[in-house]
Amino acid sequence: MAVSGCGDRSRRQRRSVSNRRCRRLLARPSAIAQRACGRTASGISGGRPKGTCCWFRSEGPSDRPYYSGIGATCAGGRLPLACRPFPDDRSNSVSTDLRFVVRPGGRLQGDIRVPGDKSISHRSIMLGSIAEGITHVDGFLEGEDALATLRAFRAMGVEIEGPDAGRVVIHGVGMHGLQPPDAPLDLGNSGTSMRLLAGLLAGQGFEVTLIGDDSLSRRPMKRVTEPLALMGAEINTTPKGTAPLMIRPVDGLRGIDYVMPVASAQVKSCLLLAGLYAEGETWVTEPAPTRDHTERMLQGFGYEVMIEGPRRGVRGGGKLVACDIDVPADISSAAFFLVGASITEGSDLILRHVGMNPTRDGVINILRQMGADIEVSNERVVGGEPVADLRVRSAPLRGIRIPEDQVPLAIDEFPALFVAAACAEGETVLTGAEELRVKESDRIQVMADGLKALGVQAEPTPDGIVIQGGPIGGGRVDSHGDHRIAMAFAMAGLRASGEIEITDCANVNTSFPGFADLAAATGLNLEVAHV
């Protein structure tokens, strides 16, 4: 994250996005209540023609209301950004399935920059929205997860221009300027959005409901709702502690001193954001280091963050001042190319402007321990975030026992690392990674099943996996709608002896729009099939 020069800066030639609020109409009091909205699509992604949409509310089989968009119109048949179908209603989606087909062979070469960091993109929208002044963002990730956060703040009255080629302009409303949304905020597949917004909205003084797709609705939320309750928040969940989250207004929040039972950047960030609105100080103690983008960005917006060893704290009652943000390339997205080039003879690939935050560099540390040839150059600090260029060349890998202190530093990169382990000589053992079982999928079990389908010995354990390196065959793999698993198995095709078909890949767009095109341009024999 590059943060520079608070306040306004010279105006840019960017198109403005109309930020109108939805007007609700209940058509009839039945199980399906139709609502019409007047949102326009003018200016979205460079100024598409105007379009309209209709929204339906339905009581599903689980009696959980869900929202889906139909009837939207715009040029080229593409739905307006703010009015796309929600992922958990596939009957109204453009395609019911998207598959990757990877033919064997190929090698990775070129000089590329992967899309912007997802974690920083989320936080730029959140903090820019509650800051005073205008925040300009460059390098914003235009993936579905980050766009879900952007849409949520538009729904709460924040004027946001873009995204246009990664550029976003946020007209902040201040700490207490958010408005009640006209409908539940649908966050799609984004756990970061739901958990961080739970904290930020807990002290807003209005009622709001957070919903998500089927995958997000299965993920545990008690890890944030329980400590928020200690601060005085009132948040209702399902009996299982999952979404939807109904956040009710309270008289005020109070600071707490909370020791996290499990290292989690999302829980830490949730509580720090709630602490901005709490009386007194809010402290969070980490059992192990986790990504610190929230702390760095708060400081960039001029908000004091107290740091005492493993403890992070904020005092309520301050304000944020708008800044300029340069989002670096996402190391989690770069990880697939780091692995792909490492495992494929003749590969030589350069990745530019990659975020090198020390709380996120576990994937590089682990690959180097396995014998990967990764060269780091042009190291610099851009607005408080370390950035560098990476050159990776093919190298023989060896199995290792992954140090547990590296697990939180590579928690999102393990699907790619499991493919590296499958291509390494010898055995790779991972422990202390039970958090992988509650990601977008059970990544331990799903990766083990996929590797076995390709002929690799992989045995899941309660908190990790044991992988015996060896030949990779062809076959069919179900990604279970998990974007990182789909991309990991795509890279496995570089070493496979036969064709690999990967199903349920549409969610790749949540974190890496354009992955298939970029991967193919660097040498992966990848085709996309719409079913």
pLDDT in tens, 28-39: 222 222 222 333
Residues 313 and 415 in one domain: no
Q: Measured on CA atoms in the order 87, 88, 89, 90, is the torsion positive or negative?
A: positive
CA distances from 288 to 311, 345, 493 (A): 10, 36, 34
| pLDDT tier for residue 160 given thresholds of 50, 70 and 90 | very high
pLDDT at 214: 93
| pLDDT tier for residue 253 given thresholds of 50, 70 and 90 | very high
Question: Poorest-confidence range of 13-27, 97-111, 341-355?
Answer: 13-27
Residues 298 and 436 in one domain: no
Predicted TM-score (pTM) above 0.85: no
Domain limits for position 149: 118-326
H-run or E-run covering 322? none
Strands (E), 301-372: 306-308, 311-315, 324-326, 348-355
CATH number of the domain enclosing 506: 3.65.10.10
Where do the H-state alpha helices sit in 60-190?
A: 118-130, 144-155
Condensed to tens digits (0 to 9), the pLDDT of residues 419-437 reads 999 999 999 999 999 999 9
Question: Poorest-confidence range of 28-37, 85-94, 144-153?
Answer: 28-37
With both helix axes pointing from N to C terminus, report the angle between 118-130 and 293-300 in degrees, rounded to the nearest 10.
Answer: 40
Give me the active site residues, please: 412
Residues 421 and 520 in one domain: yes
Question: Poorest-confidence range of 87-96, 319-328, 333-342, 394-403?
Answer: 87-96
Q: Give a yes or no: residue 243 inside a domain.
A: yes
Q: Give a yes or no: residue 349 inside a domain.
A: no
Q: What is the mean pLDDT of residues 8-23?
A: 33
- Report how many domains make up the chain: 2
Residues 103 and 123 in one domain: no
The count of residues in the chain is 531
Q: What is the mean pLDDT of residues 281-287?
A: 98
Asked if 385 and 355 touch (Cβ cutoff 8 Å), the reply is yes
pLDDT at 246: 98
Condensed to tens digits (0 to 9), the pLDDT of residues 490-516 reads 999 999 999 999 999 999 988 999 999
Q: Give a yes or no: residue 444 inside a domain.
A: yes
The pLDDT > 90 percentage for the chain reads 79
| pLDDT tier for residue 1 given thresholds of 50, 70 and 90 | low
- Pick the closest to residue 327 from 113, 117, 112, 148 (CA basis): 117
3 state SS for 222-264: HHHHHHHHHCCCEEECCCCCCCCEEEECCCCEECCEEECCCCC
In angstroms, the CA 235 to CA 224 distance is 10
pLDDT at 383: 72
Q: Give a yes or no: residue 391 inside a domain.
A: no
| pLDDT tier for residue 51 given thresholds of 50, 70 and 90 | very low
In angstroms, the CA 423 to CA 439 distance is 24
Condensed to tens digits (0 to 9), the pLDDT of residues 187-231 reads 999 999 999 999 999 999 999 999 999 999 999 999 999 999 999
Q: Give a yes or no: residue 186 inside a domain.
A: yes
Residues 172 and 297 in one domain: yes
Q: Give a yes or no: residue 464 inside a domain.
A: yes
Q: Measured on CA atoms in the order 369, 334, 307, 279, is the torsion positive or negative?
A: negative
Residues 208 and 276 in one domain: yes
Residues 122 and 104 in one domain: no
Residues 140 and 278 in one domain: yes
Q: Give a yes or no: residue 248 inside a domain.
A: yes
* Residue where one domain finishes, among candidates 326, 346, 380: 326
Q: Give a yes or no: residue 337 inside a domain.
A: no
Residues 410 and 294 in one domain: no
Residues 302 and 190 in one domain: yes
CA distances from 422 to 208, 231, 370, 496 (A): 45, 45, 12, 11
Q: What's the chain's average pLDDT?
A: 85
- Pick the closest to residue 127 from 312, 8, 297 (CA basis): 297
Residues 129 and 103 in one domain: no
pLDDT at 60 over 50: no
In angstroms, the CA 173 to CA 131 distance is 6
pLDDT at 382: 85
Residues 313 and 289 in one domain: yes
Tokens of 490: 């795509």
pLDDT at 378 over 50: yes
